[in-house]
């Protein structure tokens, strides 16, 4: 038994479905790709803007503190000696009151003995071994964050229980004739960096859930960040770019196994303050950052599926309308093939081919009827032998 070929209706339905569905699916895939790229780029740009604002605030804040200490150093240098201890103390304590970011300010002579300080803390102590003094007696100095050493037991502890940490600024004190007099040093509270970070992320109702902001050293060491990461070195492509002075953002796999949209912006300093080399990193879980696009992609897929189903229904309907006249003519031809000349051939004006086929069958039926009538008449007229 030979295999019956598929009907024209089925072929048309499949063809029309393919012609309609293939472009719809291609468009959906393209739209998904475009939306995904846009979402990745937009999420990266958003986080990079946040990290850039934090970096800018840190640069400006430290520059202002740098200029304040430089101004006080200039006023002391104008005196030409470190003998006016009470007057100097009034100046630096007024500066500390105006800007509580200063945890401690002090003046040390060339031997490293503290002559004057805020609240008299560490006065007469020897700070000659401290990095800020050794660097600051030679040139203006800004030092990276470090835990308190001599001030650990002299100042109130942090409310969060973390150890006191400071950023150092120091300026050389020099007489008008170039003879060194000592060093003016200041310890800036590290909590200020955390406040700057929170204030930037809180803008416009932020931060978004799951967003982490970090400050890294020039070597990628996390100076400020989540408890599990603080004190560790982060080695990611975005961080390596930041160490080269390039702002970067991308989706990256972190050591904890999660994927995060990560943005890194290097601090650059301001004016004659050339910066410490910090990197500001802001990250957000990729599934959270891209949740909006995930919903949009689902909507696109559902719309594509609905369009495909509609195309299938339309294809089936059109195929039926196209093949219905042919089906009727086919049935009439089949009856004619079995000798049933009484069955009428259905007339149609659906399309030219159907009209031609219908008319042809009508003529064939008429010819067969005439031939049968002639044959029957000849049979009747034939003489009996």
Q: List C-alpha distances in Å: 247 to 143, 159, 207, 235, 241.
A: 23, 34, 21, 15, 7
**What are the residue boundaries of the structural domains of the chain, listed by start?**
9-33+293-381, 80-206
User: Of 167, 173, 165, whose CA–CA distance to 148 is shortest?
Assistant: 165
pLDDT of residue 319: 67
Domain boundaries 80-206, corresponding CATH code: 3.30.450.20
Q: What is the pLDDT of residue 306?
A: 73
Peptide bond between residue 35 and the one before it cis (omega within 30 degrees of 0): no
pLDDT of residue 152: 86
Which residues of the chain are modeled with pLDDT < 50? 1-2, 206
Identify the pLDDT of residue 297. 62
Residues 285-290: contacts with CB within 8 Å, 24+ apart? 285/210, 285/258, 285/259, 285/260, 285/261, 286/251, 286/258, 286/259, 286/260, 286/261, 287/259, 288/208, 288/209, 288/210, 289/43, 289/47, 289/208, 289/260, 289/261, 290/36, 290/39, 290/40, 290/43, 290/261
How many of the other CB atoms lie within 10 Å of CB of 332? 20
Q: Could you count the other beta carbons within 10 Å of the beta carbon of residue 287?
A: 13
The pLDDT of residue 187 is: 96
pLDDT for the residue 268: 92
pLDDT at 361: 64
Could you tell me which residues come within 8 angstroms of residue 53 by beta carbon, excluding any fewer than 6 positions away?
A: 200, 203
């Amino acid at each position: 038994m030979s295999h019956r070929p598929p009907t024209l209706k089925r072929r048309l339905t499949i063809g029309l479905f393919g012609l309609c569905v293939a472009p719809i699916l291609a468009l959906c895939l393209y739209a998904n790709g475009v939306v995904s790229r846009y979402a990745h780029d937009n999420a990266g740009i958003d986080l990079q803007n946040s990290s850039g604002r934090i970096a800018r605030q840190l640069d400006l804040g430290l520059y202002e503190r740098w200029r304040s200490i430089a101004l006080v150093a200039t006023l002391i240098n104008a005196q030409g000696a470190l003998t006016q201890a009470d007057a100097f103390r009034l100046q630096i304590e007024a500066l500390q009151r105006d800007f509580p970011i200063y945890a401690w300010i002090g003046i040390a002579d060339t031997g490293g003995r503290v002559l004057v300080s805020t609240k008299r803390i560490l006065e007469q102590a020897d700070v000659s071994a401290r990095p800020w003094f050794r660097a600051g007696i030679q040139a203006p100095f800004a030092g990276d964050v470090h835990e308190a050493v001599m001030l650990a037991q002299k100042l109130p502890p942090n409310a969060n229980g973390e150890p006191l940490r400071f950023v150092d600024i120091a300026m050389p004190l020099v007489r008008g004739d170039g003879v060194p007099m000592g060093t003016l040093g200041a310890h800036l509270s590290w909590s200020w960096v955390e406040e700057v970070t929170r204030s930037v992320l809180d803008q416009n109702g932020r931060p978004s859930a799951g967003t982490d902001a970090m400050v890294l050293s020039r070597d990628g060491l996390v100076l400020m960040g989540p408890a599990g990461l603080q004190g560790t070195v982060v080695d990611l492509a975005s961080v390596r770019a930041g160490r080269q002075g390039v702002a970067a953002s991308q989706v990256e796999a972190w050591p904890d196994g999660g994927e995060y949209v990560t943005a890194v912006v290097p601090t650059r300093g301001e004016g004659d303050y050339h910066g410490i080399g910090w990197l500001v990193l802001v990250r957000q879980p990729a599934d959270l950052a891209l949740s909006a696009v995930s919903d949009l992609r689902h909507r696109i897929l559902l719309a594509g599926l609905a369009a495909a189903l509609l195309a299938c229904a339309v294809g089936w309907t059109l195929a039926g309308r196209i093949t219905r006249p042919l089906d009727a003519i086919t049935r009439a031809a089949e009856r004619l093939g079995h000798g049933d000349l009484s069955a009428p051939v259905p007339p149609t004006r659906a399309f030219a081919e159907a009209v031609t086929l219908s008319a042809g069958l009508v003529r064939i039926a008429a010819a067969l009827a005439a031939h049968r009538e002639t044959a029957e008449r000849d049979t009747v007229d034939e003489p009996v032998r």
